[in-house]
Structure 1
Amino acid sequence: MTATATICVDELLAAARGLALAARWEQATGLLDAAAAGLSDSPARAVLALAAAEIAVDSAWYSGTEDGAGRLCEVDEDALDDTGRWDLGFARLRYEYRGKLRKPDSDLRDRAERFAATAPDARRLGWAHHYLGLIHDNVLEDRAAAPAHYERALANAAGDDLLRREAQRHLGDHAHEAGNHAEARERWQEATAVGARAGLVAGTLSQQLLLAVLARDTGDEPGAVALATEVHRWAEAIGAARIAELTSGFLHGVDPTQPPPA
């Protein structure tokens, strides 16, 4: 006798995203792939493929894996609704952003502005502005223009702790750069807390590293080393290779908030 099961796509997406937040990236995409293989419904398969692509794009920041491009190409855009197509296009922009760091490209900014102009809801508007801030900061190297976009992201982060975490993280970076340690600590501590509340394991570790940076900057070297050592241990344990690399550098005197030498 063959067993059959009815798949609830929304519950499956929530489970996969929960696994991804917990740094179980391969399990998350494996779950989505297995479920998609058993579906005959093209729109549902496209939604699952899109979720797998988004997870691949996000996990690259922590794990160093590079299957985002392939995953994005596998999504059947024609089977998605308008919001799904917006999400797919935005995932492509997020993937391309990572490859454009410190390589000035005004086209990337223009595309992000179009996503902000066409965002179907407040949360997506917030994410579009967040990426506009990142592009100004890290692609165009126009630091003065970025905070206003992070503030727009923060203003649209109701109900999305991940967006709130990102906005506070980067606003804290600007406060840190300006020497305002009190504001940087407040923003970075909130970013750490809301990221943890969302279940974002690797992101919470990366946020703890910023608190270690602040401890060093304010003269607490033993505290900075102790915190970074634990972050490094955890990062290695969960396979967050990029965070492990950054913490190793920090323990050898490298400031992870500064760009690498040209």
Structure 2
Amino acid sequence: MTATATIALDELLAAARGLALAARWEQATGLLDAAAAGLPPSAAGRSANARLALAAAEIAVDSAWYNGNDDGAALLSKVDSAALDPPHRWDLGFAGLRCEYRSRLGRPDPALREQGEGFVATAPDGNRRGWAHMYLGLIHDNVLGDPAGAPPHYELALAGSAGDDLLRREAQRHLGGHAREAGDHAGALLRWREATALGARAGMSAGTLSQQILLAVLARDAGDEPGAVALATEVLRWAEAIGASAIAARADGFLRGAEVG
């Protein structure tokens, strides 16, 4: 593949990911599908097709948190891993771990922690290592039931988040949750406000709404029920408008008095 073609592919992938962050999931995958349909039957075409298929699968894995789409595992299984270079092969495996994490919530599985540790050890660069630490923390928190083991990994993710607003957002989001659990309302508010702004700066529509729900949680904690209800009502309205059904359900549950964390 020529340098010009590589740049064009990277720009197309960035455009698709931008659409996905803006909750335009169908448009994002449609763009990737259209690009794949025009590839030549060559080694370069095979490599590009694998990158496009990986991006579509990663979008499905990410969007499942917002729209309930569970196509991620099926799409990952169709990616031609042999056509990927080593860093993107790592990305493929890591997307599989993220998909498996979602399916294992609340179901202790030490093997998942071992997988996470493996991705930390084999990460091809600091940013990917930061993401691996992020998910290793999540596994401790939400799969192993070991909340004390999670924050050190979130801190390592935060330390490796330079230039990556989405990774910093994730780390601050979950460190904020631990601050709230420890009774540090001010610390939680500081981290969750930053996470909300980071998601907005990255163009993350659904993720920003999910953060605003957490700000509503803190408003309720502080006794500001009218403010909490006003914010959650708008989140519900906006989430329904963009098709983020999972976020809409959380907002609706919050308005009905459910605990949201």
Establish whether TM, by shorter chain, passes 0.5: yes
Matching residue's letter, 2:27? Q
> What is the SS of the residue equivalent to 1:199?
coil
TM-superposed deviation, 1:69:
1.4
Instruction: Write the letter of the residue equivalent to 2:184.
Output: N
Q: Which residue of 2 aligns with 1:260?
A: none
2:234 to 223, 230, 238: 230
In the alignment, the residues of structure 1 paired with residue 216 and residue 6 of structure 2 have an alpha-carbon distance, to the nearest angstrom, of: 47
Aligned to 1:32: 32
Shift of 1:70: 1.5
* Pairs within 5 Å for 1:13-24: 13-24=13-24
Q: Distance in 1 between matches of 2:47 and 2:12?
A: 15
Q: CA deviation at 1:7?
A: 8.7
Report the counterpart of residue 213 of structure 1 in structure 2: 217
Q: Distance in 1 between matches of 2:150 and 2:39?
A: 43
CA distance in 2, matches of 1:151, 1:195: 18
1:82 paired residue number: 86
Structure 1 unmatched runs, 5+: 258-262
Which residue of structure 1 aligns with residue 201 of structure 2? 197
Query: What letter is aligned with 2:125?
Result: D
Counterpart residue number, 1:256 = 260
Superposition deviation, residue 219 in structure 1: 0.4
In 1, the alpha carbon distance for the partners of 2:200 and 2:135 equals 22
Query: Structure 1 146/6 Cα, relative in aligned 2: closer, same or farther at 3 Å?
Result: closer
Measured in 2, the distance between the counterparts of 1:97 and 1:46 equals 23
Number of residues of Structure 1 aligned to a counterpart in Structure 2: 253
The alpha-carbon deviation at position 97 of structure 1 amounts to 0.3
Q: 2:118 aligns with which of 106, 114, 119?
A: 114
Structure 1 counterpart of 2:14, which letter? A
Structure 1 consecutive aligned stretches of length 4 or more whose deviation exceeds 6 Å: none
Are residues 1:159 and 2:163 paired? yes
The alpha-carbon deviation at position 6 of structure 1 amounts to 11
Higher deviation after alignment, 6-15 or 183-192: 6-15
Structure 2 residue aligned with 1:99: 103
> How far off is 1:8 after superposition?
1.4
Residues 7, 167 of structure 1: CA spacing in aligned structure 2 closer, same or farther, 3 A cutoff?
closer
Deviation string, structure 1 residues 151-184 (Cα, Å, up to 9, x no partner) = 0000000000000000000000000011100000
Supply the AA of the counterpart residue of 1:37: A
- Provide the aligned C-alpha RMSD in A: 1.2
CA distance in 1, matches of 2:7, 2:221: 51
CA shift, 1:197, in A, is 0.4
Identity fraction in percent: 73
- For structure 2, the residue ranges without an aligned partner over 5 or more in a row are none
